[in-house]
Each structure stands twice: as C-alpha cells, then as structure tokens.
Chains A and B, each alone.
Chain A
Amino acid sequence: MFSKFELSGLLKIALKLLVNDKGKFYTLIIGIMFAVFLIMQMTSSFAGMMQRTSADIINVGAKIWVMDPSVTSARDNIPLPNYVLDAVKSMNGIKYAVPLYNGSGLVKLRSGKYQAVEVIGLDDTTLFGRPNIVKGNINAIYNNDAFIVIKNADYEKLDYPPIGTTFEINDHRGVIVAIAESPIGGLFGTPTFYTTYTRAIATLPTTRFTISYILANPKNDLEITSIKKQVKNLGYKAVTQQEFIDMNTNYYLFKTGMGTNILIMTLISFIVGLSVAGQTFYTFVLENLDKFGALKAIGAKKSDLIQIILFQSAVVGFLGYGFGVFLSSVMIALAKLRLANYASIVTAGNLSFSFFMVLFIIAFSSYIGIRKVLKIEPFDIFRG
C-alpha cells in the first residue's frame, strides 16, 4: 500500500558525507540545537509572562469588557461612573452587564506579617466571573467578611490559610470561606482574593466611582460590533476578551522594556546559532571544495551540487530544531515541577517562530556553501 521511501543515491552520498564527518555534524546540530533552545526559552518565557499579565482577563472570562478609553493594560483600573453600567445594560444587543471591582489591599496575617493581595469584587447577584471552588461553598461568599482565596503558587505567601482563617485586610476583618482555583496565576506574585462587589468597595479605599470594568455578554456574537459602537458613542471603550488580551500584550511589548529585552535576547540567540551553523557549514564545504570541483569535472550538474548542500543543511537544521524544542520543553517542564509560578509556555506561535529562524539559518548556511561550490571551476582542480 505504501511504497518504500528511499533516498536517491545522490542524497545518500550527501548524508554519508555529512554524518561521517562526526565532529562537524555534531557541532552543527549542537549549534542549531542551542540556538533553538535559547530562542524557545526566550519566546516561551515571553509568552508565559504575557499570558500571566492577562490572567484576570482570562480567569474572569467575560465576552465584552467595557472600560475607560484611557485603559491600556489590565492593570489600569480607571473607575467608571455607575450610570455607564445602567447605560450598557439598556443597550441594544446586550444580554446582561455586571460590574467588576479590581483593586489591591494589604493583608495582616496572624504571624504579624503584611502581604499585598489582589481583590476581585464580583457582582453580588450573579457572581459572574467566579472562580472554580475546590473547597467550601460558593454561597458562603455572602457570609459576613467573607473572602475566597485562590490556591496557586502565591497561596503560600498567606501561610496556606485553611477555611475559617481570619485576617485583617485594610483594617477590616476578613475570613476565608472557600478555597478556589483559577486557570492562570498572575505575573506579579500577589495572592488573589474574591469577594462580592459590595464588600470589596466597602473594605478597600476607593475613589468617587467604584466600577473597574463592566462585564457584558451580547445576545449573540453578531451584536458585538454594534455594542462596541454604542459604547463608543457613550464616550467609553468596549473590547472583546481577545482584544483586551492583545491590548495588554501590546502594552508590555511596546510600552515597557520587556518586549525589547526579549527581542534582543532572541536576536542574540539567533545570531549565535546562525554564526555557529554558518561558520561550521562553510568550513565543511571548504574542506570538500576540491572534491566538489572534481565532481563538477566528472559531470555533476549544478543542480546536483545544490541538492547535496541543501539536503545536508536541511538535515542538520531539522535535527537541531527537534533537539532544541525537546530540550527547551524538558527544561520548562522541569522548572515548572520545581517552581509552581514559573511563567513559561510553549505555544504554536513560538514553535513556528523558531522553526522559521531555523529555516533562515539553513538558507543562509546553504547559500554561502552553494555560492562557494558553484564558483569553483573544474579547471582549478586540474591546475591544483
């Protein structure tokens, strides 16, 4: 059913020439592997950090976020007047809209230690955006001074509080009534509490307006464009969850040094890989140059020689890529085992990015090799 795959004689010769030169073969693979490893580490860390900066957006999971037009990232909590909530609720295409409070407080633990925390105040009626409870009951959120704590890598900073633990938050009494989990932990290492919107604004100091964001759901997705337009007419901004994540990523990418630093490190990794692979491959071609010249004299076509070189560079390129991806995935997995809040994820985006970088390395290495080989004249071989 399947015909047996077999390399042509020419490619077998190309492979043997490459593989039998063990020193260069391993140098090429290791060079590309480390370049891919470093590129993957950089881009995975960046992707991980970006995902964590958007943790609240992803964890709350609203389809539409209404905010002040000045908001550029998820950390910009510019309070909205209450009438905006009423206006959004009454807009065409809106199924429902609820307020969300997002702020920070200072917790005094029993040990006397202070710990900054993030407090998310959910709409009292719907509790829209609530986390997944792993211990306790969600209804306990309506008890006096009730807070739900998120059990993630930052949970230990609160001394692993069990249900019933009391604490002080901004000089108010608080009590843990449930323990929950959220899909993604935050980047900034602060533990997260959930409570009701009313309790949040009662407990934490606020400005005259108290709504951080309005979370809205459209009657159907086709209404989103119209809702955005209506919100804009009101003087505010409405974005989808993905647009908010992108806006947030762009903020860190372009408005902070983070993107530039990661980009520089990625470029350096790429240049290192390119130099090692290019240089080694060039030496490999140079060492065999007289033989390539002899092949030309014997009757090898230009296309034969190009095929040999392209095949050789593709072999080392793809092997190096495979090992590099494997190595970086293992490193990330091991790091996550040891450090629960290690922010690094392998995405299709960074796999594709490093693949294209490797393709560039292959193309560059082949180009310098092919150029040299095509230039050699068989007559030079005769002349010695």
Chain B
Amino acid sequence: MILQAKNLIQWFGTEDNKTYAVRDVSFDVDYGEMLYIIGPSGSGKTTLLSIISGILRPQAGIVISKGQELWKLTDAELTNFRLSTIGFVFQDFHLFPKLTTRENVAIPLILQRREWDECMEKAQKTLEIVELKGKADLPPYKLSIGEQQRVAIARAIIAEPDLLVFDEPTASLDGSTGKKIISFVRENILNDKRAIILVTHDNRIYSSATRILRMEDGKMMGEIDKNSENITDEN
C-alpha cells in the first residue's frame, strides 16, 4: 500500500463559523492503482488531494505513506518527502515560460541538487517517454495545450516518484485530447511500482480509472462502479 488516509478532517473559517471541506475521510491507495476522486465543485476533492500530498496540514486525521506518518514530519522533511515521493500535475501546469521544455521537466532533479548535465539528459529521456522528443528546446508557450500537459506529466515523473497526483488534468483540454492523455498515462506512466490519484469531474475519462471514489460536501460517499451507465460527478 502506498497511501493510507484515516479520519481526515479539514475546515476553513473561524471556530464559530466552520466550513468543512473534508469530513472524516478515510481511504487507501495501492501500488498500480489509478484512483479517481470525483465530485462536484466545492466537494473537497482538491483539499483532500492537498492533504494527502503533504501540502495542507489537516485539522485531524493521519496520512501514512511508505510507512511514514506524513503530518508528523517536520516542514523540511515534508518538503524532501514531496520532492522524492510525489509527482504533481497541476490543473494550469505552472510551467516556466522563460525556460525550455527540457529545463522545465528537469526542475525536480535540479531541486534534488543533481548535476546539470545529468538533469538535462534525464529530462530529454523523459520527454521521449511523453513523445515530445523534438520539442525539448522550445519554450512551453510554443506547444499546444495537450503538449504542455505532457510536459507537466514529464516533470512529475522525472524524479521517479511512487505517487502521482493530478488535479483536474483535463480541465484545460478538449474531449479527445483529454481522453488521449489519460489513456497515455494509464498505459505508459502507471506501473506496479507507482500509484496515481486523480481528481476530476470530467466523466469522459472515467473509463481509465482502476477505482473511483466520490466525494460530496467533504464526505467520502464511497466507491462507484466505473462501468455503470450515466455516471456523473453528481451521483
């Protein structure tokens, strides 16, 4: 098991006026899984993703990843943990427009203080995995949105993390590109030594999931059969 979340609680606002984003949520993720967390906007998916990826400290509950209780780590240890164990793919990609695609991809390795040449070499190889070999020297803004998404994926996998977290990865993409990218991730990025947690409300990509959990009003409503008809993030 790569991740275990137990009784997570997160609220915002004041002590007298609490707005719960995550209410007593528990779930596990195994290696080789591509877990989708779906639900309507404001259901707490992104907050949950932040908590389990070591970005937002929950008010209650524990997250265990690779045998470590995440929120017992110091800030510095948590930063190192994220850098070595988790790969992030953000909704808006957040690529540096003034760097080349190769340099953007190499950033996690650079943060790990690896040699520059080694970083660039590995970034080039990773770009080959996401089929962007010929675009390494271009800045991200010269790529299509789909290609930028793949650059973000390359950046997330370059340090070979055990867990990849995707926040609304298809939100900026058209239907067919979104499907293509997610199929690509399922076929080429997911493996037995890695798990993917993906937050989305794009029902066109549900078929690529190995498991789907639905959230509503901060609560985990349970697992959904990905093959059931008319599945939406509302049910």
Contacts and interface: CB of A to CB of B under 8 A. Distances in A.
Interface of A: 6, 8-10, 12-13, 16-17, 20-21, 288, 290-291, 293-295, 297-301, 304, 377-379, 381-384
A17 B107 contact: no
Contact of B83 (A13, A294, A299): A299
B191 interface: no
B114 interface: yes
Interface string B80-98: 1011100010111011101
B79 interface: yes
B27 interface: no
Contacts, number: 82
A9 B110 contact: yes
Interface of B: 46, 49-50, 53, 55-56, 76, 79-80, 82-84, 88, 90-92, 94-96, 98-99, 103, 106-111, 113-116, 119, 155, 167
Nearest to B76: A301
Contact of B50 (A12, A294, A379): A379
Given A9-B110, A304-B111, A379-B56, A299 B98 contact: no
Given A297-B82, A300-B111, A13 B90 contact: no
Given A13-B103, A16-B98, A20-B99, A383 B116 contact: no
Given A290-B94, A298-B107, 5 more contacts: A20-B98, A291-B95, A298-B88, A299-B79, A378-B50
B155 to A, nearest CB: 8
Contact of A290 (B92, B115, B119): B92
A294 B113 CA distance: 18
B171 to A, nearest CB: 9
B118 to A, nearest CB: 9
12 contacts: A9-B106, A9-B115, A12-B116, A13-B107, A17-B96, A291-B94, A291-B96, A298-B88, A298-B107, A299-B108, A300-B79, A304-B111
User: Nearest 6 pairs between A and B by C-beta?
Assistant: A299-B83, A294-B94, A20-B98, A9-B110, A299-B82, A378-B55
A17 B84 CA distance: 24
B159 to A, nearest CB: 9
B98 A8 contact: no
A126 to B, nearest CB: 72
Contact of A9 (B80, B88, B94, B119): B119
A352 B92 CA distance: 46
B167 A382 contact: yes
A378 B57 CA distance: 12
Nearest to A18: B98
Contact of B99 (A13, A294, A300): A13
A341 B226 CA distance: 89
A382 B49 contact: yes
A382 B110 CA distance: 22
Given A16-B99, A291-B96, A384-B91, A10 B110 contact: yes
